[in-house]
Amino acid sequence: MKLYFIFTIDGDWDEYFSTELPRRKRRPDRKGLLWLIKKELKAARFAGGKFLHFIHTSPVTRQYFFQPDFIDIWKKIEKTGGSVGVHCHEEGLFDRGGLKDPVMLERSVRSLTGPLREKGITLISYRGGYLAFCEKVIPILERNGLFLDFSCSPGRYLHYKGRLIADWRGAPKNYYRMCYEDHRKEGKSNVVTIPLGKIRKRALYIDIMPLTDIWMVARHLAGKGKNSKGNIIVSLLTHTYEFSSVWKRLRIVLAILICRCYGKFVTDKEALTLIRTEERNKS
């Protein structure tokens, strides 16, 4: 069968992670961030314009991305063949890998989905900050029409200040419908998770992996796809702050070109259609 990639960009900026700064100074510079997102659009041309920008929401910037300039660029992303999704940075909600306040997380999700859909923007995808997730998130995504999750990084086991943030040990390395009882297992929920492309410790994570590792992962997945009975669909990951220099942008473009040698780039909506078609053919 075929190998498909989804080029994903988490819409985070450097200052957000500077926790020693006061909240108002952790907000992004509007002009600077818009400039970076325009660079995303240029890089995405090498993927046929098909990319998924995850719009950040957190207590630092709850309403920030509804400014007219940002609404215009979200619409431009869709018009040129891309998509936008929901990226919740609500790290305080997680304790020992479990979600302490589902109501608050659902408010966070709706803080983006409601206003953006009113503006005519389509959202079907979600990614947790730091790739955090637990099974309690699944019904929240279902209720809010987010049928694709991109939080899965198979094998990831992340602790932060003594708290378990993300546990993807044992998760499949290809897309799957998540189980209501254990998000790392295949089940019958309405949410499909599309994992980060990985083999062992190598991943399609542009920010931290050398291009040789990205090449090895893409080549491995392509070989696996030839012997697979179904399609392989994985994500390629970077962040908005990585578009800040010409050299970083060049690395991103080269990573796209490497993946393009082995598979095809699709949007999240195209991926969902492929998945549903494959499921129908199996039934």
| Look-up of token digits 């932060």 | 160
Q: Please give the residue that has the higher pLDDT: either 224 or 185.
A: 185
Tokens of 218: 């893409």
Predicted pLDDT of residue 225: 67
Q: Please report the sign of the dihedral spanned by the C-alpha atoms of residue 205, residue 208, residue 213, residue 215.
A: positive
Domains of the chain, first to last: 3-282 (3.20.20.510)
Residues 64-100 pLDDT 10s:
999 999 999 999 999 999 999 999 999 888 877 788 8
pLDDT band at 261 (very low <50, low <70, confident <90, very high): very high
Whether 227 shows a pLDDT value over 90: the answer reads: no
- The mean pLDDT of the chain is 94
- Please give the share of the chain, as a percent, with pLDDT higher than 90: 84
